[in-house]
Amino acid sequence: MYEWVIIGGGIHGCTIANFLVKSGKSVIDDIRIIDPHSEPMARWKRNTNRIGMEYLRSPVVHHIDVHPLSLKQYSTSGDSKDFYGYYKRPQVELFNEHSDNVLRQIHIQKAWHQGTVVHVERSHEKWLVALQSEEVMQARNIVIAISVNEQPIKPEWANKRVYHIFDEAFPDFQQLKGPAVVIGGGITAAHTAIKLSTIFPGKTTMVKRHPFRVHLFDSDPGWLGPKNLNGFVKLKDYKKRRELIKEARHKGSITQELFHKLLRLQKKEELQIVDGEPVFLKNNTIGLKEGSKIEANTVILATGFQPARPNQPWIERLIMEQKLLCSTCGYPIVSESLEWCPHLFVSGPLAELEVGPIARNISGARHAAEKIIASL
């Protein structure tokens, strides 16, 4: 039996594993991380590489290691390109290299188990975690650290030949044909449109439903500490907590430098930017609610993810069997230590009614790890 089984090997799962080992609360041989991919943070690396993200939106102190200055100290080159702006937002490549180095330090591969969870149940004071491969793992504690990345928003008009940018089966960019249209106005849409405009200059269009929303971060920095969080956790009404989360998030926003980059591409006529709402796609024509039409051989959705709780069937069964508490929005009601019930912890979206608007981010992973470690 393992001390810890962590379901999900993305940034959240890896951060928690690292904190468990480096805090001395566990050893790597007592941990198993279950993830569908063959290596840690695989989806994160694939997605950021796919859209051509150069710098993170998060500052230098947000990463998967315990010490806040770990990433800054890892950058020994002195190259000013390692970080961007006042908050020293790191290059994605540097962030990934640092993460790999941190995970090598704790020998993460010893804990790694490629697989897909299909059932979790409580039996005789231990957890049984069943995999699609019919393997069953026993654990004293489990952490559910999964995201909503498998729940992309796809509007009704989008047919089967329209890809969401984060679809598993998304083709190589070089296989796409112009003219190309990106649907969305947020940071993912911006990166995707910029990348496509280098492949199809003058034949790339970005279609967005609202004016650009320019914000440095995707929520106010006050949510990183007691300034905003103290009042948030004092609220006993979880409906009000959900309202605060919705209000705090700068949904569909982009950073200042991306905004200016898009405008420069538009001025050079390498990118068209259109305000409108698509309502149909027929042959190679997108029709907008406003009446205009756009020709496209490639249509890519960058429309985000469903706000609902991660919809894994095994989670639904677990909630019913263990009578786990949920708010009216469907998300877990958990303790300060992020326990949904004894020895069952959550991180990421599932923890947001306790961690707040930052729960899904890298900073949210650190907050979750700190809360779990502090309770042990």
Distance, CA of 170 to CA of 137 (rounded, Å) = 33
Considering only CA atoms, which of 198, 219, 237, 246 is closest in space to residue 367?
219
Q: What are the tens digits of pLDDT across the range 48-103?
A: 999 999 999 999 999 999 999 999 999 976 667 899 998 999 999 999 999 999 99
Q: How confident is the model at residue 20 (pLDDT cuts 50, 70, 90)?
A: very high
How high is the pLDDT of residue 182?
Answer: 97
How high is the pLDDT of residue 224?
Answer: 86
How high is the pLDDT of residue 153?
Answer: 87
How high is the pLDDT of residue 268?
Answer: 97
Phi and psi at 362, nearest 5°, equal -60, -40
Percentage with pLDDT > 70 across the chain: 99
How high is the pLDDT of residue 79?
Answer: 66
Q: How confident is the model at residue 336 (pLDDT cuts 50, 70, 90)?
A: very high
Whether 248 contacts 228, CB under 8 Å:
yes
How high is the pLDDT of residue 161?
Answer: 81
Distance, CA of 89 to CA of 57 (rounded, Å) = 6
Considering only CA atoms, which of 278, 113, 103 is closest in space to residue 206?
278
Average pLDDT, stretch 238-251? 95
How high is the pLDDT of residue 152?
Answer: 86
Return the domain boundaries, the chain: 2-150+306-374, 163-215+250-301
Q: Per CATH, which fold does 2-150+306-374 belong to?
A: FAD/NAD(P)-binding domain (3.50.50)
**Which class does domain 163-215+250-301 fall in?**
alpha beta
How high is the pLDDT of residue 315?
Answer: 96
Distance, CA of 313 to CA of 197 (rounded, Å) = 40
Q: How confident is the model at residue 225 (pLDDT cuts 50, 70, 90)?
A: confident
Do the first three CATH levels of 2-150+306-374 and 163-215+250-301 match, i.e. the same topology? yes
Q: What are the tens digits of pLDDT across the range 146-173?
A: 998 778 888 999 987 899 999 988 999 9
Q: What are the tens digits of pLDDT across the range 252-280?
A: 999 999 999 999 999 999 999 999 999 99
Distance, CA of 116 to CA of 36 (rounded, Å) = 5
Averaged pLDDT of the chain: 95
Task: Answer yes or no: is pLDDT of 349 > 80.
Answer: yes
